[in-house]
Amino acid sequence: MSKPLSDIGAETERVRAIQDKTAPHYDRQISFFERILFADGREWATSKARGDVLEIAAGTGRNFEHYAAGTKLTAIELSPEMLAIARRRAADARIEVDLRKGDAQALEFGDESFDTVVITLALCTIPDDRKAAAEAYRVLRPGGRLVLLEHVRSPVAPVRVAERILQPLALRFEADNLVREPLDYLTEVGFEIESVKRLKWGIVERLIARKPASPPM
């Protein structure tokens, strides 16, 4: 059962406030987890981008340096403080970045605007992650790709138990959901799963999904 819009709105504002507060030390914090969990995940995700690309929840812009030269990139971020850091990175990037403030749950773009949507380490904090996936589907052109790098609910029982124990603290202080799994709803949204790879005891997921080239019959 989905939450009322008022609850989603309030949680979105809470997430924004947490991310604004986190922004000054986010790069130092996430670099630790990149070393122990995500390795070359950003390079992997950006290497799958083709055509007109939308990056959702770009954070401080840590992906920008990894996109191939010539990539046509539009990126959105909810937090003004994160966005300020991302703008500095965009200025130094080898590609041109159209960087905007935006909410993944209500994208400002028209239907079928992009060939690729990239989301890295962000569905875990978006209050209505299913809505964000539906918005990604909407703005993708037929045949377009959704590329996800995410930490998810582990299929390994002891690890999953640890995630559930840590979940209340992670949600309260970081707005970070440790037990989500995009595979729970991506096909319901309309995506066809192209590939899934699980790493690090199943905590890390690299996923590519495709919007069908023609609408379902």
49: in domain: yes
Contact present, 61 and 85 (Cβ < 8 Å): yes
Three-state SS at 155: coil
Contact present, 45 and 71 (Cβ < 8 Å): no
15: in domain: yes
Residue 1's pLDDT is 43
How many residues appear in the chain? 217
- 38-73 confidence digits (pLDDT tens): 999 999 999 999 999 999 999 999 999 999 999 999
What is the C-alpha separation between 53 and 116, in angstroms, rounded? 5
217: in domain: no
Q: What range defines the domain where residue 97 resides?
A: 5-210
What is the C-alpha separation between 155 and 159, in angstroms, rounded? 8
Nearest Cα to 104, choosing from 81, 72, 74, 84? 74
109: in domain: yes
CATH number of the domain where residue 188 is located: 3.40.50.150
Three-state SS at 119: strand
147: in domain: yes
216: in domain: no
The total number of structural domains in the chain stands at: 1
Residue 74's pLDDT is 98
What is the C-alpha separation between 183 and 146, in angstroms, rounded? 12
Q: Which residues of the chain have pLDDT under 70?
A: 1-6, 215-217
Burial of residue 31 (number of CB atoms within 10 Å: 0-12, 13-18, 19+): exposed
215: in domain: no
Instruction: State in Å, rounded, how far the first CA of the chain is from the last one.
Output: 27
35: in domain: yes
